[in-house]
Structure 1
Amino acid sequence: MIVQLIIFLVLLALLGKFAWGPFMNMMKEREDYISNEIDTAEKSREEAQRMQREASEELKQTRQDAQNIIEEARKTGAQQEKTIIETAKSEAERMKKSARQEIVQEKEKAVQELKDQVATMSVMIASKVIEKELSERDQEKLIAEYINEAGEER
């Protein structure tokens, strides 16, 4: 039994030196590896959360910028619409004024042409009626009176 005890102790010493030491080293390395993997995973998770927050903030800012651009476009569109309407109104008013002036000018021109025609016709009629009995001065006087009467009747 003493021999078995000695052999057991020698075997235990050999196992402690050659098996238990490397086994413990291997377990320590495994523990360190797992600990490093956990730390790396935790850092990756934190980095992912940080990136998610940043992406969320960027998305929120992008939406706000888009909303601002849309609002600015609406304001610009409304302002352009107002400007176009005002320009169209002023152009229409200018065209009306121009048309009125043209109508007045054409009317005056037509009246003048009518007076000229009446004068010519009056001279012709008067000359036939009077058969050249009046002097040229008398004829002009009669024409002027006739034109004035025609103008007053109008």
Structure 2
Amino acid sequence: MLTEFFVLGAATNEKVFNGGDILYTAAAFLVLMLLLKKFAWGPLMGIMIRRENYIAHEIEAAEKSRTESSELLEQQKTLLKEARLEAQSMIENSKEHGEVQRQEIIATARQEAERLKESARVEIEHQKQEAIGALREQVASLSVMIASKVIEKELNEEDQQKLINDYIQRAGE
């Protein structure tokens, strides 16, 4: 390469140093580097910096989203646990309420049964009193009949006693 900067002389065949070409090439290279830095490297580095910032922002957003989703997951777990406890509490309350109602229904049924028994006793007592009253009326009418028959026919004391006993036996049946 270095040999390129040396030019062969036309007549002498000796190598002559060509410094103008070197300076021109170096200046062109420096200008080219400045132009590349301004128009290529600058925008390219700006794009890379923006991309780096964008990626950093996306990573931060993803981390923030992950943290928020983790918090939401914990909140959902807490809410689910509270809902389960509340449901269990409601079930237990329902069971207790059902037991209380069962006891109330049993007590009401027993009271109703006692009331029906008492009502039946009162009805039986009433029917018994009516039967006794009817029996007394029959005994009275039988007594009147006995008395009328006794009057119609005169009986001795033994026949009267026999007649009375017969009527009493009929009334007892």
TM-score of the pair, normalised by structure 2: 0.73
Question: Which residues of structure 1 form unaligned runs of 5+?
Answer: 134-144
Aligned pair 1:124/2:133, yes or no?
no
Residue correspondence of structure 1 range 1-154 to structure 2 within 5 A: 1-131=22-152
CA distance in 2, matches of 1:85, 1:109: 35
Structure 1 outlier segments of 4+, above 3 Å = none
1:72: how far off? 0.6
In proportion to residue count, which structure has more helix?
1
Q: Please list the CA deviations of residues 46-72 of structure 1 after superposition, one character each: whole Å capped at 9, or x if unmatched.
A: 111111111111111111111111111
CA distance in 2, matches of 1:6, 1:49: 61
Bigger Cα Rg: 2
How large is the Cα RMSD of the aligned pairs? Answer: 2.3
CA distance in 1, matches of 2:113, 2:86: 40
Aligned length: 139
CA distance in 2, matches of 1:70, 1:116: 67
Residue matched to 1:138: none
CA distance in 2, matches of 1:125, 1:40: 123
TM-score of the pair, normalised by structure 1: 0.81
CA distance in 1, matches of 2:82, 2:118: 53
1:132: how far off? 8.0
**Identical positions, percent:** 48
Question: Which residues of structure 2 form unaligned runs of 5+?
Answer: 1-21, 155-163
1:86: how far off? 0.5
Q: Please list the CA deviations of residues 77-131 of structure 1 after superposition, one character each: whole Å capped at 9, or x if unmatched.
A: 1000000101110110111112112111211210121111121022112211322
CA distance in 2, matches of 1:18, 1:98: 115
Bigger relative contact order, structure 1 or 2 (CA pairs below 8 A, ≥6 apart): 1
